[in-house]
Amino acid sequence: MSNVVSKVTATAFIENLRAIVGDLGLITQQADMASYLTDWRGNYTGQALAVVRPASTLEVAAVVKICAATRTPIVPQGGNTGLVGGGIPDNSGRAIILSLRRMNRIREIDLINSAITVDAGCILQTVQEAAREHQQFFPLSLAAEGTCTIGGNLSTNAGGTTVLRYGNTRDLVLGIETVTPDGSIWHGLKALRKDNTGYDLKHLLMGAEGTLGIITGAVLKLYPIPQRTCTAMIAIAKAQDSVALLKMIRDALGDRLTGFELMSRVCIDSVIKYFPATIEPFSARHNWQVLIELGDTMHESPLDDALSGALIPAFDSGLVRDAIIATSEAQAAAMWNIREQIPEAEKLDGKSVKHDISLPISRIGAFINLAGPQLKNAFPTAEVICFGHIGDGNLHYNLSFPGAAPTLDQTRAANNIVYGLLDEMHGSISAEHGLGQMKRDEITRHKSTVELDMMRAIKKALDPLNIMNPGKVI
């Protein structure tokens, strides 16, 4: 009898959702839900009662109210490009996936205030293009920008390749609109640069991975479009040389330095292997390469000459082995393509142990010098894949086991080595990908009791029913 009642209740619940979002906004067939139920890497797969696709903030609020009344878990999802399983439900089949992809409007562009207001379901690249159409620049840039959504970017406080100059996603946001776990709407779309009136709630919601509420809209900062750019590939002998080079370039060129990316030989060889059209920048093989980008809003800014001048002492000291400054947009794009294809090449090579970590920049060289030998000693046949945004202290430091996926024991042992060093060097086990379900339990070994108690108190206060993306973050 209870099973019959359960089925009737589930049917009534689905029909209530349909009444809110319509047939176009509701997916219940397993085959049609499949792409929402597995993450990009294929590491996490779950089950859901339905995929609900509201078209407005009012519809989101109505859906959340029904879920709160029935205590139905909600898993918010943007472009499903996350890397830690944050947008994937568990296997109980009790949750709904709340996809915001239909909420994709550019609501307003305020050129005087240098701001753009958008729906959370807007694709990042769409926002970049909308800004550019008005001769403005939205600087957030990452490999998934053609697929990821603004809501997902805010919910994970995404990083990317321009953090060095413009900051993480939270630094690019003036205001947000949010549906709270009880279905209320917080209309926080204020485009204010100063608002010193108590707790800054938007920063609490950003980076929370949908566990405290659902971001439905945002006011984002715009900047002048760089009129001149300069891209260069620099060859160095040792990873720690990149830190010295970073200081030298930044001291000489200041905030014109917008990108500073480190790549190991293993990464470059992998890209060339899986993307044969890739051209090796240098005639000689170098163990490490740094990709540098400069930008300036001045039309006549002599960036090439400025970079060449800044590199002279680096050559004289032996810090730099070789350098190529791009002479065309095509050559610059080819350099960036090497960096941006690393995650895809790594994916094609098979599963690996992933570490999205951050360190004080001054300690990056010491970390690499210690972590590499320790991992090699523990796993003689494994390869370390090291690349990342060295300018903001973010490394993607992964371990690949040729011909096989890492076992659970290997993953734990590798994590113990990497995370142990991070603790000693006051680093973080997640720089830009978040915690999701991958690092939910791991974080309890690296945060203090005080931090964890504060986080749990916030979660309990805002989501007492624990329906907002349960099982994620904490």
| CATH for 388 | 3.30.70.2740
Please indicate, yes or no, if residue 449 is contained in any of the structural domains: no
Same domain? For 374 and 400 the reply is yes
Inter-residue contact 353 to 411 (CB < 8 Å): yes
Same domain? For 58 and 91 the reply is yes
Order of strands, sheet of 26-27, starting from the edge strand that comes earlier in the sequence:
26-27, 50-52, 96-99, 74-77
User: 387 pairs with which residues across the strands?
Assistant: 263, 396
- What's the rounded Cα separation, in Å, for the pair 66 and 60? 10
Q: What is the pLDDT of residue 313?
A: 95
Please indicate, yes or no, if residue 446 is contained in any of the structural domains: no
- What's the rounded Cα separation, in Å, for the pair 49 and 64? 15
Q: What is the pLDDT of residue 6?
A: 57
Domain containing 37 — which CATH number? 3.30.43.10
Give SS3 for 424: helix
Measured at the CA of 386, the angle between CA 381 and CA 389, to 5 degrees, comes to 170
Q: Tokens standing for 85?
A: 């399983």
Please indicate, yes or no, if residue 140 is contained in any of the structural domains: yes
Same domain? For 296 and 355 the reply is no
Q: What is the pLDDT of residue 350?
A: 87
Q: What is the pLDDT of residue 404?
A: 86
Please indicate, yes or no, if residue 390 is contained in any of the structural domains: yes
Please indicate, yes or no, if residue 209 is contained in any of the structural domains: yes
Number of domains comprising the chain? 4
Q: What is the pLDDT of residue 9?
A: 81
Same domain? For 195 and 236 the reply is no
Q: Which domain holds residue 309?
A: 228-343
Residues of the chain short of pLDDT 50, as ranges, are 1-5
Same domain? For 355 and 331 the reply is no
Residue after which a domain boundary falls, among 189, 224, 259: 224
- What's the rounded Cα separation, in Å, for the pair 121 and 104? 5
Q: What is the pLDDT of residue 7?
A: 54
Inter-residue contact 130 to 109 (CB < 8 Å): yes
Residue after which a domain boundary falls, among 47, 73, 99: 99
Q: What is the pTM of this model?
A: 0.92
Same domain? For 111 and 217 the reply is yes
φ, ψ (nearest 5 deg) of residue 167? 90, 175
Please indicate, yes or no, if residue 368 is contained in any of the structural domains: yes
Q: Tokens standing for 380?
A: 């003689």
Domain containing 167 — which CATH number? 3.30.465.10
Same domain? For 115 and 169 the reply is yes
Same domain? For 153 and 243 the reply is no
Q: Tokens standing for 321?
A: 């082995």
- What's the rounded Cα separation, in Å, for the pair 149 and 120? 7
Same domain? For 313 and 381 the reply is no
Single out the residue of 231, 230, 233, 260 nearest to residue 324, CA to CA.
233
Inter-residue contact 310 to 249 (CB < 8 Å): yes
How many helices (H) and strands (E) in the chain? 15, 19
Residue after which a domain boundary falls, among 343, 358, 388: 343
Please indicate, yes or no, if residue 452 is contained in any of the structural domains: no
Same domain? For 357 and 395 the reply is yes
| Residue 382 DSSP one-character state | -
Q: Pairing mode, if any, of strands 185-188 and 173-179?
A: antiparallel
Please indicate, yes or no, if residue 216 is contained in any of the structural domains: yes
Same domain? For 376 and 357 the reply is yes
Q: How many CB atoms lie within 10 A of CB 223?
A: 16
Q: How many residues does the chain have?
A: 474
Q: Tokens standing for 193?
A: 């640069």
Same domain? For 196 and 238 the reply is no
CA distances from 94 to 21, 257, 331, 362 (A): 19, 48, 51, 47
Order of strands, sheet of 173-179, starting from the edge strand that comes earlier in the sequence:
106-110, 115-119, 214-221, 173-179, 185-188
Q: How many CB atoms lie within 10 A of CB 405?
A: 12
